[in-house]
Structure 1
Amino acid sequence: MNALIIEDEIKAARSLENLITKLRPSVSVKAKLQSVEAAISYLSDNGMPELIFMDIQLSDGLCFDIFKSVKITCPVIFCTAYGEYALEAIKANGVDYLLKPFSEDDLRAAFEKVEGFRNFFQQHTGNGLEDLIRKISVDEGKKSFLVFKNNKYLTVPTDQIAYIYIKYTSPAIVTFKGEEYIINQSLDQVQNQLSARQFYRLNRQYLINFTAIREVEHYFARKLLVSLQVATPEKLLIGKEKTALFLQWLEER
């Protein structure tokens, strides 16, 4: 695999190249570039690599200016010290967003993600991919849940569920009206029945409805704080390693 590093700090670029060589000896870094201008010139003259590692803030501006001049068609792994550009990075072919200082495990996980995407599209070409997309587009998930409370069976429509969380040892449905119902399934089972487009698994404890999200803001240690329209027993926090995936989910509506 041919790769390109776009990073304005020479020491950081060299360190990244050494780490790439250690984790994936088969990856050949063809060039290390420090500016928007140099990246545009290189890509215009040499064509597209198979993978790009890109810092956000370069010596002459933000890396997103590169995309205005060159059509980048390969996956991009963004490596930056700034968390506020994650959404723009996702829109710009970003398959991962590594916050500096990132670890060897972080880079290994990014490579695995790139390889996973590559294998997927190799296996799902032609009609196979079209069928998969068609299946995803019509998968609306479970429409309602049957619950039991106060000696009565009730049906709770899925679109009335704000979030589902583990209360003591069992999942509990919480509606937009603040009503709460214990259900006799695991949270994993519930998640598998819901539309992945509409409900997001924040962590082991919480599944949230997109419609219930009131706001998302930056929190300490590069985390995100998610606030819902309905109160939750505890703060809903997303770790820095999962922020890009969550923002991508928000974007894909």
Structure 2
Amino acid sequence: MKTIIIEDEKPAARLLQRKLEKLQIKVDILLHSVEEAIEWFTKNEHPDLIFLDIQLSDGLSFEIFEKIEIKSAVIFTTAYDEFALRAFKLNSIDYLLKPIDEDDLIMAVAKYKDRVPKKEKLQLDFDEIKKVLANPFEKEFKKRFTVKIGQHLKVIGVEEVECFYSENKGTYLHTFDNRNYLIETTLEILEQELDPQKFYRVSRKFIVPIAAIKEIVLYSNSRLKVILPSYNEEDVVVSREKVSQFKDWIN
């Protein structure tokens, strides 16, 4: 089995090489950049397996595949978090998150060896990789909340939320069925956890989902008032400094 490592950090490349040699896998060559890899693949027979870092010293490794049709199986080695890798995990053999755990390495190699005899077509969707790597730290947004009701816990999906609001130093979610629940967080944290395409913080006191906006009306001092299906404890007003951005968001 011919194996190569493409890794811009030479100590990391040598460490991975030693770990592979402990598994009786000989590494034939170490490459350290996009340019070097393209030149090597142009002139040499492609290996059976590549251990490939995503971010190299002169660019992202998917640039290699734009120039060369790679026929090898690939195991990614990366410092990116698991959410950024999800889009292409099924299209490669596996990925190893740095620092590389030996048990994970053993499992990845075993997965490769298991697939080779079956002669599966190993095809990487590099358009999808490029889409993901355009925002390598892309994360999953919050999908549900757990609230305490007496001695019971209730799970509420974000699709059930009509708005979030703060009151008396507490943070609450209000549901479409006209119920309020105290949650252990702040609007500042929620603003980072919620999908910004679906939720918008209209003021210091309110975050609203676009799905809950029933009507928008003019309000005093060049502000806007958001009408929600059931929440009517007080006016939900878009702050004057947020009006322009809010209009862009709803469009």
TM-score category, normalised to shorter length: 0.3 to 0.5
